Amino acid sequence: MTNMAQKADSSKNNSSDPRNQEVVFAAEGNPQLGNLETPINSSPISKWFIRNLPAYRADIGPFRRGLEVGMAHGYLLFGPFAKLGPLRNAPSGNLAGLLSTIGLVVILTACLSMYANSNPYKPVATVTVPNPPSAFNSTEGWNNFASAFLIGGIGGAVTAYFFTSNLAFIQGLFG
């Protein structure tokens, strides 16, 4: 009677055992690129998802990229500030969350602007994104992204504030 350890040890030399198949390869067959193709980053679903994110979507400019990313950040950052912040039980808790979110979006925009002026490296082609967008090749592209991020972030935060503050009215309209 063989135990599990002996069975696993004996399978090391069996090439038909699926545990012995290689699943990680050098990108484009060249180990000098410093990138690996794994079942996660080279799967069609992963490639589709990443290529449809605003930062990698083809045929849109840096302003639209920044607007989409900013809206998502402003909308999602509002909740933790409003509902988990120190004023969460106060009548002005939502307003405090809105102002906190706008403050963080302004800080993030300043960080993006500083990064844009630091001469960032050009985007590198990877397994997931073989053709990176040219929007991030210049300081002007990064600055357009940052200014749109500010507009989108404030807009997303105001939208979340509006929905949260008028939740009873909105629920009354639909049910």
pLDDT for 29-88, tens place per residue?
888 878 888 888 888 999 999 999 998 998 899 999 999 999 999 999 999 999 999 999
Task: Kindly report each contact of residues 49-55 with a partner whose C-beta sits within 8 Å and lies 24 or more positions away, as own/partner.
Answer: 50/128, 50/129, 51/128, 51/129, 55/133
Structure tokens at 30: 């060249």
Amino acid present at 33: L
What domains lie within the chain, and their CATH numbers? 61-174 (1.20.1240.10)
Tell the burial category of 148 from Cβ atoms under 10 Å away from its Cβ (0-12, 13-18, 19+). buried
DSSP of 14-53, one letter per residue? -TTSGGGS---EEGGG-GGG--EE-TTTTSHHHHHHHHTS
Neighbours of 133 (CB within 10 A): 19
pLDDT for 101-155, tens place per residue?
999 999 999 999 999 999 888 888 888 888 888 888 889 999 999 999 999 999 9
Give the up-direction half-sphere exposure of residue 105: CA atoms within 13 A in the CB hemisphere: 31
Looking at the predicted structure, is the pLDDT value of residue 89 above 80? yes
Contact 14, 20 (CB under 8 A): yes
Looking at the predicted structure, is the pLDDT value of residue 17 above 80? no
CA distances from 57 to 37, 53, 61, 113, 132 (A): 21, 6, 9, 22, 9
Of 65, 70, 69, which is closest to residue 134 (Cα–Cα)? 65
pLDDT for residue 131? 87
Output the average pLDDT for the chain.
89
HEC assignment per residue over 99-158: HHHHHHHHHHHHHHHHHHCCCCCCCCCCCCCCCCCHHHCCHHHHHHHHHHHHHHHHHHHH
pLDDT for residue 31? 82
